[in-house]
Amino acid sequence: MKKKHRLLLLFCMMVIVLALPLQVQAAKSKITLSGATKPTTIKQGAFFNMKGTIKSTYKLKEIRCTLYMSNGKTCLQRFVTYPNSYTYDLRRADPYLYFDRLTPGTYYYRVLCYDTKNYKKRVISKKFTVVGNGKIKIVNPKPSGNLTINEGKSYAIGGNITSTYTLGSVRARILDSSNKAVYSKTVNPKKKTYSLTNSTLDVAMLFDKLSAGTYKFEVTAVDTKGTSVRLIYRTITVKASGTTSGTNPGSTGGSTTNTGNYLNTSGTVTMPSGYVKRTARPAADNKYYYDKSYNIYYGYNSLAPTGKKMADDKNYVVGNCTWYACGRAMEIVAQAGGDINKVKAIFGPDPVGIFNMNVAKGMFKYGSTPKIGALAVFNYGNGGEAHIAVVEDIVNGVPYVSESGYALSTTKPTAATIIFKYQSIYNWAGGRSLKGYIYLR
């Protein structure tokens, strides 16, 4: 009996001894990675530092570090090493992959490991982008060179900005002789193109408010990758012209010395169907005049009767011909069931600029014959300013217009006190020649 117990005990011991190497042999392969760096966006020419520790249950037989094209299949660079160890520090592979030589585009960074049991595992597969410095340029900048204007004269800036990457910001500034910003405005386009023409920046650059002297005008653009370019940098010389303080002669008219039948029309004039002429001031709740989401001028205290003081903290704007004409044009187009965005597309510059913008964009027909519901645009007068009015009726061949004029006051305006006139086209057309009519209907 004792002999049987001994044999049984011996058999159990043999089973245990034989089982030990089988347990070791049956252990699963395991490869892990810790402390790794993975690229996301790299600037062209910049280095990327590979880091990370690879650990394996069995010895690492082979490690492949590879850079692929965006399709994940075409190999650009590869480093292969044979560690024959249980760990590997990826910093040892860093000198052999040249991230700094990649051109702008999309790539994959991958690390594949094999152990001595032929188990393989991809421990890194990271898609990343290489971005270039980007190019920002402007076509047809305006002014294209140094500029001289008369005091009180408006000037419309222009130019089309294009960028390799999305434009983060575009800033326009007028700087005085002490390099202090007189007017400054920044927009955030969030797209790759931006037109200065008829833009928010154009409206904010109040050249007509500059006193006699020398200034600098600049436009700077910055893309979302950090590239910054000064696109326009011009010297602006403003000459004294003896303009009456507080009043813009281009908007308020002048003498009635302008004569000639070129403003008139002959024959029977028929009022357009559904047309409602305006002979009184617009109400305070009229969105086309008093809402900046419609009227582009109403967002600026220096361009519209907003009831808020200008930057000088002294004066209020009590009227403006372009502000009024913009609102009235939207009103007319909306009444006819048209698209008011066509009005927005041409307004922004001074009156002559509005006419030229319409010609360039082809939004509305234009000509030299007055018609009811048309914008009447006048060239620059002796004081350096243009004027715009709206033809409401034609009586005995003479156009009658509704209009406003630019003026300042220390008294806060209301919708009931803004400058507004319904009168013969000759009353405020003094000293100017007709640029033409824009036919809104």
CA distance 265 to 261: 8
Question: Tokens 């062209």 — which residue?
Answer: 44
The pLDDT, as a whole number, for residue 13 is 61
* pLDDT score recorded for residue 27: 82
What is the amino acid identity at position 284?
Answer: A
CA dihedral of residues 238, 242, 248, 251 (deg, nearest 10): -100
pLDDT (0 to 100) of residue 248? 36
Per DSSP, the three-state class of 179 is coil
pLDDT at site 247: 32
Phi (first) and psi of residue 381, to 5 degrees: -95, -170
358 exposure class (CB count in 10 Å sphere: 0-12, 13-18, 19+): buried
Q: Is the dihedral of CA 415, 417, 420, 422 positive or negative?
A: positive
Q: What DSSP character marks residue 27?
A: P
Structure tokens at 227: 């590239």
Instruction: Quote the CA–CA distance of 160 and 195 in Å, as a whole number.
Output: 4
Q: Which helix (H) or strand (E) holds 22?
A: helix 2-25
With beta carbons less than 8 A apart as the criterion, state whether 265 and 376 touch: no
Intra-chain end-to-end CA distance of the chain, in Å: 122
**Angle at Cα 102 formed by Cα 100 and Cα 103, nearest 5°?**
125
Query: Are 416 and 305 spatial neighbours (Cβ–Cβ below 8 Å)?
Result: no
How far apart are alpha carbons 257 and 187 in whole angstroms? 43
- In this prediction, residue 259 carries a pLDDT of 41
363-372 confidence digits (pLDDT tens): 999 998 899 9
**How does DSSP classify residue 382?**
T
pLDDT (tens digit per residue) in 12-47: 566 554 555 544 455 899 999 999 999 999 888 888
Instruction: Report the Cα 248 to chain-centroid distance in Å.
Output: 31
CA–CA dist 440, 254 (Å, integer): 26
pLDDT at 252: 37
pLDDT in the model for residue 62: 96
Helix H or strand E segment including 105: strand 105-115
The stretches of 339-415 forming alpha helices (DSSP H) are 341-346, 351-361
- The pair of structure tokens assigned to 49 is 């530092």
Q: Which residues does 61 contact at the CB level (< 8 Å), separation at least 6?
A: 82, 83, 84, 114, 115, 116, 118
Residues 6+ apart with CB under 8 A from 24: none
For the entire predicted model, the pTM comes to 0.46
* Per-run averaged pLDDT (10 residues), the chain, 441 residues: 57 56 66 96 88 96 95 92 96 91 91 96 95 86 87 80 92 92 92 85 82 93 88 90 37 38 60 91 95 92 91 86 96 95 91 92 92 92 79 87 89 91 78 86 89
pLDDT at 246: 33
pLDDT score for 15:
54
Note the Cα 1 to chain centre separation in Å.
99
Show the beta-strand stretches assigned E in 224-298: 228-239
- Vertex 161: Cα angle to 155 and 164 (nearest 5): 170
